[in-house]
């Protein structure tokens, strides 16, 4: 049985792009924030803007923000669950232009003093592609456990992070480091074959030159 066999009967007009993919984007958005949001504004671009209610995209997105798995029996009533948990969600129609994938969502999230943004597309068959997190261009598919590190651009940062992962036998599938200017702020994206242990994340957070660390858990099978 596939995830769509499970989620389909519980959602109106089930679609791998408009339900499973949307839920996975919600999961990744919540992970990028680092906690369950209290307020969320979700922008709907392209076909999402016209079909999101009929295909259950709104319920799927909210389920993802609440951390529900794709086969969670609460998905059909996720909007009610959100109200019970104090999560305020607003949906708005947006136009990101003709060059943007038609199944694209934007997230603006708040929780206490923490804020975060994410933009991602549901590209078919439940697969997703995240292109922006907190104002930084990224390319994250949710196929791997991912560590997103924002740090000062100082020597040894990459070596320190990869050493911690190697010590825990975590194999790096992909690693990318970008920076806006030399000596400024750098963004490191580490995608791993195994789950990234909590103590590795805590160790990276402990480096004085690191500004933020987010773990985006694998969301695809």
Q: What is the pLDDT of residues 122-176, one digit of tens each?
A: 988 788 999 999 988 899 999 999 999 999 999 988 999 999 999 999 999 999 9
Please give the Cα distance from 114 to 62 (Å, whole number).
19
pLDDT of residue 132: 94
Residues 59 and 105 in one domain: yes
pLDDT of residue 221: 67
pLDDT of residue 117: 96
pLDDT of residue 17: 63
pLDDT of residue 167: 96
Residues 39 and 132 in one domain: yes
pLDDT of residue 5: 41
CA distances from 88 to 50, 81, 97, 131 (A): 22, 11, 27, 24
Residues 28 and 136 in one domain: yes
Q: What rounded mean pLDDT belongs to the chain?
A: 88
Q: Has residue 221 been placed in a domain?
A: no
List the CATH number of the domain containing 211: 3.30.70.260
Residues 105 and 166 in one domain: no
Which residue segment(s) compose the domain that 117 sits in?
3-140
CA angle 104, 148, 27 (to 5 degrees): 45
Residues 22 and 51 in one domain: yes
Q: Has residue 123 been placed in a domain?
A: yes
Please give the Cα distance from 68 to 90 (Å, whole number).
19
Total domains in the fold of the chain: 2
CB-count burial class (<10 Å; 0-12, 13-18, 19+) for 166: exposed
Residues 10 and 114 in one domain: yes
Residues 118 and 189 in one domain: no
Q: Has residue 42 been placed in a domain?
A: yes
Strands 127-133 and 145-152: unpaired
């Amino acid at each position: 049985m596939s995830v769509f066999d499970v989620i389909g009967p519980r959602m109106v007009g089930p679609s791998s792009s408009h339900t499973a993919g949307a839920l996975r984007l919600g999961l990744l958005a919540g992970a990028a924030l680092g906690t369950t949001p209290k307020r969320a504004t979700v922008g709907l671009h392209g076909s999402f803007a016209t079909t999101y209610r009929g295909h259950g995209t709104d319920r799927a997105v909210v389920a993802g923000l609440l951390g529900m798995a794709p086969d969670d029996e609460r998905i059909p009533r996720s909007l009610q669950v959100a109200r019970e948990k104090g999560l305020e969600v607003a949906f708005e129609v947006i136009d990101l232009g003709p060059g943007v994938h038609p199944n694209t969502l934007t997230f603006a999230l708040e929780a206490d003093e923490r804020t975060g943004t994410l933009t991602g597309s549901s590209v078919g068959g439940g697969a997703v592609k995240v292109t922006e997190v907190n104002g930084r261009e990224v390319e994250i598919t949710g196929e791997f456990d991912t560590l997103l590190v924002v740090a000062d651009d100082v020597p040894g940062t990459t070596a320190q992070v990869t050493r911690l992962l190697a010590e825990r036998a975590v194999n790096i599938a992909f690693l990318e480091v970008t920076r806006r200017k030399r000596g400024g702020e750098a963004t490191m994206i580490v995608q791993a074959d195994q789950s990234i242990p909590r103590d590795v994340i805590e160790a990276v957070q402990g480096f004085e030159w690191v500004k933020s660390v987010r773990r985006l858990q694998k969301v695809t099978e």
